[in-house]
Amino acid sequence: ATVVCPNPFYQIYEGAALLAGAETAFGNSDAARNFAVDWAAIDEATWARTQLLYVCSPGNPTGAVMPLAEWQRLFELSDRHGFVIASDECYSEIYCGEAPPLGSLEAAVALGRGDFRRLVAFTSLSKRSNVPGLRSGFVAGDAALLKSFLLYRTYHGAAMGPAVQRASIAAWSDEAHVEANRALYRAKFARVTPLLAGVMDVAPPDAGFYLWAKLPQQAVRGSDTAFARELLAQYNVTVLPGSYLAREAHGHNPGQGRIRMALVAGLDECVEAAERIASFIHDFA
């Protein structure tokens, strides 16, 4: 069995595939096309043995949002080859524009697939409400798939305690804090991006709370890992090497020479971190 993932990607996708005894295949994101995944690079033989496709929209780490045309193409591939689409949408309520990102279930309805066949969508309180420790979320989609999923979950014994349930109800029932959280991330991008744009290739994402930045060649010196290590050692700022979030596929690692910056700290701390990164690049170069 084969599991297809976008590349770069959230590493749990690969870990889950390996635990299930499956092989992984990757569709690389294309920086020239706003980090859209190049699904055409995956050959028909790979699609034919694919049982599961992970997608992430808005994407981690790129922030890219899948348009309706891309959903249509993936649904057509799913119909042709019979694989399930697992859509990770935990960043769906953190976005920079006025309109929320298109979700998988919404796309399915727009394309006349109201039965959500071979489609499941996952989301979480972790990002919208800044409560990753609750491990609270939901899954929705194809009823036949969810019937088996719920049976598995019952035997897995992953029930929430009453306190977490009550906190989850409070968080899901309130939108004011989500709007405030979204506004705060917009303010962070507005302050941080100009500070970094002078020393690296970086722009605000469509959605999510990451900056997926390309390092200048003189700063990388062949390794985004070395850059991240020295930044931590000399300036006490932690970023994630882009190559850690991707795999070698189709001739290259699409995360090489990039870093992921998570703007999850307070506004002042994010600004100070950006100033330190800019200073470090000047010194490192």
CATH number for the domain spanning 189: value is 3.90.1150.10
Residue 220 confidence (pLDDT) = 62
31 falls within a domain: yes
Same domain flag for 65 and 204: no
* Residue after which a domain boundary falls, among 134, 164, 194: 164
Q: Is 215 within the bounds of a domain? A: yes
Residue from 261, 196, 251 nearest 224 by CA: 261
**Burial (0-12, 13-18, 19+ Cβ within 10 Å), 127:** buried
Same domain, yes or no: 138 and 270: no
**Other CB atoms within 10 A of residue 51 CB:** 15
**Based on the domain organization, do 86 and 191 belong to the same domain?**
no
| CA distance linking residue 116 with residue 120, whole number of Å | 8
- Same-domain check for residues 185 and 142: no
The verdict on 29 and 147 lying in the same domain is yes
Do 130 and 185 fall into the same domain?
no
What is residue 153's predicted lDDT score, i.e. its pLDDT?
86
Task: Answer yes or no: do 211 and 91 share one domain.
Answer: no
Residue 26 and residue 120 in one domain: yes
Total domains present in the chain? 2
Tens of pLDDT along 47-71?
A: 999 999 999 999 999 999 999 999 9
Verify that 187 and 158 share a domain, yes or no: no
pLDDT along the chain (285 residues), means of 10: 97 95 96 94 97 98 97 98 98 94 98 97 96 93 95 86 96 97 97 96 96 86 88 97 96 96 97 97 79
Q: Does 232 fall in a domain?
A: yes
Final residue before a domain boundary, out of 133, 164, 195? 164
24 backbone dihedrals φ, ψ, rounded to 5° = -115, 145
Q: What is the pLDDT of residue 92?
A: 97
Any domain includes 151: yes
Residue 6 in any domain: the answer is: yes
209 and 258 both lie in a single domain: yes
Domain range enclosing 47: 2-164
pLDDT of residue 218: 74
Instruction: Kindly report, residue by residue over 188-203, the tens digit of the pLDDT.
Output: 999 999 999 999 999 9
